[in-house]
Amino acid sequence: MNRRSRSVGVLATALTVTLALAGCGRDDDSGSGGAGPGVTDDPCPNAVDDSKGCIYLGTITDLTGVFKGVGEPFTAGQKAFWDEINKAGGVGDYEVDVTRHVKDSGYDPEKHAELFNEIKDDILAVSQSLGTAHTNAILEDATNESILIGPASLGSNWIFDDISIEVGSSYCTEAMNAVDYAADQGAKSIAVVHFPGDYGDDAMVGARIAAEERGLKFTDVPTGTVDGGDDQSAAIGAVLKAKPDYVIIATGPKEMASVVGGTAAQKFTGKFIGSIPSWNAAVLDSPAGPAIQALYMQASSFPTWEADVPGMEKMRAAAGDTAPNDWFSIGYSSGYVMKAILEKALEDDKLDREGLVDVANSLTGIDSEGTLPEGTANWAGDPNDDAVRVTQLNKVDPKASSKISLAVDPFTGPTAENYEFTEPCYLMK
């Protein structure tokens, strides 16, 4: 053998060994020894009990983009939930891992889809997929492969999908309830300041439907692009011109602060009700803080951080020193849904992808120990049975650790109560 062919031989051998080792490693990760992809008889990394197998759940979220303020705490909340469950013995003969396959989309739908393809062979289900358009980008693939998805998004579209295990009221329903509340307070006119796109349009359409039902004057005020910064002078001008009694606001916290602060600085005294993503306690430290405290309420279907229910008590204990954050709490609470599905799948001997989808679609509800709104996880019926329709209003409360507290108990307004969903609200803009 000459020197050249000997080198080639050594290289080929090295490649073969490397590929073989790589193959072995992947099998270990993806759980070839278990019931299917994402389920392994081998223990999880950092397992509490090495004798248990591991269920891998994927996360595709935003850790560096415009919604990293949602993605980071949501992911931490889910980890806290499963850490507690694993410490308490896991689910059947398995512990659950939500840390190995965490991917950062930077809030880019295309990247989101790429990352899903990267992890899909190694996971049983997706415990968090942040963003409506982003989750829509993977929906077809996930449906084809029967991969259950937990959307970290409250679009009104999820009730129409069998593989989606959404929690909470949609932005559309939230806005309907907010407008019904405004009408009950004597409002004659409303405006909706909202991002363009699924989130903002979902809220706008919900508010418009309710305004028509209640006979209120309606003004639509779209803002600039989602990451366009916080120069909201156009929205501020439009609100001041329309002079509505109530403003429904479906933007990020920065834009909300700009609009509330900017209008209040020009003596606007109407009230604001914001969708869940419009709130972040940090806005109270901004110059708009006093105006927000005086004029703003948050619409949500989830209990506040301090809520006196067993699940939230456990969540607070699991959070430890973590600063109170709605998204941490919702991430934690969403774990109850996946846990219920996994337990039922084990009970029915269906711990594989198709089995999980079957089980999810047979549920009529779960026990979330008070962390999730009434009506969550009722996926056995038609989409209108799935839709959670309850909303509570939270006021700014500097004394509360999360800076908000319950102002109006959970309610379902007449518009949301009677509305029949036939398509996602945001498609009707």
Partner 1 sequence: MTQLLGAVAGGIGVGSIYALLALGFVIIYKSMGVISFAQPAFLLAGTVLVTYLSPEIGFFPALVVGSVAIAGVALVVERVAIRPMVGKAVFVIAIITIGIDIIVRIVSGMFVGSDQRTVRDPWGLDAWEVGGVYVEQRDLAAFAVTTVLVLALFAFFRWTPIGLAMRASALDQEAAMAQGVNVGTVFAVSWALAGALATVAGVFAAAGRTVDQNHWHIALLALPVIILGGLDSLGGAVLGGLVIGITQQVVTTYHRDWFPGLDTNIGSITPYLVMLVVLLVRPYGLFGTREVERV
Rounded least distance, CB 69 to partner 1, Å: 5
Which of 93/231 has CB closer to partner 1? Answer: 231
Rounded least distance, CB 131 to partner 1, Å: 17
Rounded least distance, CB 163 to partner 1, Å: 30
Rounded least distance, CB 334 to partner 1, Å: 19
Rounded least distance, CB 72 to partner 1, Å: 5
Q: Which positions ≥6 away from 105 have C-beta within 8 Å? A: 60, 61, 62, 65, 111, 112, 115, 130, 131, 134
**Whole-Å CA distances, 424 to 127, 181, 274:** 22, 22, 20
Rounded least distance, CB 31 to partner 1, Å: 33
Rounded least distance, CB 65 to partner 1, Å: 9
Which of 48/282 has CB closer to partner 1? Answer: 282
Rounded least distance, CB 43 to partner 1, Å: 32
Which of 74/171 has CB closer to partner 1? Answer: 74
Backbone angles phi and psi of 319, in degrees to 5? -70, -30
Contact footprint for partner 1 (CB under 8 A): 66, 68-69, 72-73, 196, 222-225, 227-231, 233-234, 237-238, 253-254, 257-258, 261-262, 264-266, 280-283, 285-288, 291
Which of 231/354 has CB closer to partner 1? Answer: 231
Which of 33/287 has CB closer to partner 1? Answer: 287
Which of 159/283 has CB closer to partner 1? Answer: 283
* SS3 of residue 171 by DSSP: helix
Distance CA 170, CA 206 (A): 9
Distance CA 352, CA 280 (A): 38
Which of 74/116 has CB closer to partner 1? Answer: 74
Q: Which positions ≥6 away from 177 have C-beta within 8 Å? A: 169, 210, 299, 389, 390, 391, 411, 412, 413, 415, 416
| Length of the chain counted residue by residue | 429
Whether 59 and 127 have beta carbons less than 8 Å apart is answered as yes
DSSP state of 390: -
Q: Which positions ≥6 away from 345 have C-beta within 8 Å? A: 351, 355, 356, 359
Which of 37/65 has CB closer to partner 1? Answer: 65
Whether 190 and 207 have beta carbons less than 8 Å apart is answered as yes
Rounded least distance, CB 255 to partner 1, Å: 10
Rounded least distance, CB 399 to partner 1, Å: 20
Distance CA 234, CA 62 (A): 28
Residue type, 77: G
Which of 237/410 has CB closer to partner 1? Answer: 237
Which of 92/224 has CB closer to partner 1? Answer: 224
Other beta carbons within 10 Å of 122: 17
Which of 119/221 has CB closer to partner 1? Answer: 221
Whether 312 and 319 have beta carbons less than 8 Å apart is answered as no
Rounded least distance, CB 233 to partner 1, Å: 5
Name the E strands within 124-257: 125-130, 149-152, 189-194, 217-222, 246-250
Distance CA 294, CA 169 (A): 26
Distance CA 223, CA 212 (A): 22
Nearest-CA neighbor of 72 among 368, 373, 376, 322? Answer: 322
* SS3 of residue 375 by DSSP: coil
Place of tokens 């996994």: 342
